[in-house]
Amino acid sequence: MKVTTLHLTCALCGAVTGILLGRLASEGPVPSGQAAVPALAKERADRVSRVSTPGPASGHDFASLLKLQMLGLLDDSPLMRDLERMSPERLRELLLEIRDLPETEDEQEMEASRVMLQSVAAELFKREGMDTIPWADGMEKGRFRTGLMQYLIAEASFVSPAQAKPWIDRFISDNGDHTLNDFRWKLMSGAQSRGAEDVIELEKLFGDQFSTILKPAIPYPEGFDYQKLFTGIQPEADRRGNHSMWYWTQVDKEAAWKGILETVKQHGKNGAYYYGALFSGAQGLEDPAARKWAVAKLDEMPDEF
């Protein structure tokens, strides 16, 4: 955004902020979850209104201010925290206000709109869960609907991959195979947070798509059962083993090596891919002894390797 535009936007922001906050201050206490901007500091309204020229208030005041905050034009603003206090009905209204904001080609403003939409969508899903997706699906097709559907399905992917799967399939059908990447981080991190059984269920649920889901190098939580993971998923070298084996080696390299041996013995697959990940993980420890340990394991490789 150019400097002159930035200054103009700041001035307009001050005017809108003064109107909105002055109006809220005059209305008195508002029940939590019902206000567009709950209980913002009155002294802020007084300070802003002193340098503002009041005028007709826009129907999208809060959405506009929220976007300005995302752009870094509003300091000390609790607008994002106020999302947590809004009712589901108000959050839905806010999403519609975001939809109706003027479109822009400015990259900074576009990113602000994206973050804003994602934040409000996540908060609404937290309240109403899967019911939010059919609601968004009923909107008129377009960029806003696609973005909103993406963020809501991503939230569903984290908490319930099985329920999210039909919506993921539809989204991919409408927008291309590459859009599975929009959900893989949430799918994998959610499953990891619940345990190895849930990661194993992801493979059963997504089949050949699981290789894409496993690609992100997402750190595994403390106490994760790598042994269960490696004995519970089919060990096809082109589908998995890299990041999970790398992290396992970082946690317990001896257990990781035994896991490779057990996996090869159980499934009869080529284990060389896993050794590469184990060696990489040992190198990542930045311990010369760990690297020597990994090299020495070459002599212990069974014939199946």
Domain-embedded: residue 273: yes
DSSP code of 215?
A: -
Whether 118 is in a domain gets the answer no
Is residue 128 in a domain? no
| Per-residue CA distances from 285 to 247, 293, 300 (Å) | 10, 12, 21
Rounded Cα–Cα distance for residues 23 and 34 (Å): 15
Both tokens of 189, joined, read 């991190």
Q: From start to end of 109-194, where are the E strands?
A: none
Sequence-distant (6+) residues with CB within 8 A of 297 are 257, 275, 278
pLDDT score for 5? 33
- DSSP symbol at 35: S
Q: Say how many domains are in the chain.
A: 1
Q: Which domain holds residue 285?
A: 225-304
Which residues have C-beta within 8 Å of that of residue 197, sequence separation ≥ 6? 228, 232
Within the chain, which residues score under 50 in pLDDT?
1-59, 74, 237-238
Q: What's CA 15's distance to the chain center, in Å?
A: 34
Torsion of CA 203, 204, 206, 207, to 10 degrees: 80
Q: How far is the CA of 304 from the CAs of 244, 259, 269, 271, in angstroms? A: 21, 14, 8, 7
CA-to-CA separations, 215 to 39, 110, 195, 242, in angstroms, rounded: 44, 28, 18, 8
Residue 7: inside a domain, yes or no?
Answer: no
pTM: 0.73
Q: Is 277 helix (H, G, I), strand (E, B) or coil?
A: helix
User: Using a CB cutoff of 8 Å and minimum separation of 24, what contacts does 133-138 make?
Assistant: 133/167, 135/92
In angstroms, the CA 246 to CA 240 distance is: 11
> What residues contact 119, with CB distance under 8 A and at least 6 apart?
80, 83
- Over residues 151-169, the pLDDT tens digits come to 999 999 999 999 999 999 9
The DSSP letter of residue 57 is P
Domain annotation covers residue 171: no
CB 71 within 8 A of CB 109: yes
The verdict on residue 256 lying in a domain is: yes
Is residue 249 included in any domain, yes or no? yes
Tell me, what's the pLDDT at 216? 60
Q: To 10 degrees, what angle do helices 88-100 and 143-159 make?
A: 140
Asked, for residue 283, whether it belongs to a domain, the answer is: yes
Give the pLDDT confidence score for residue 79 in this predicted structure. Answer: 66
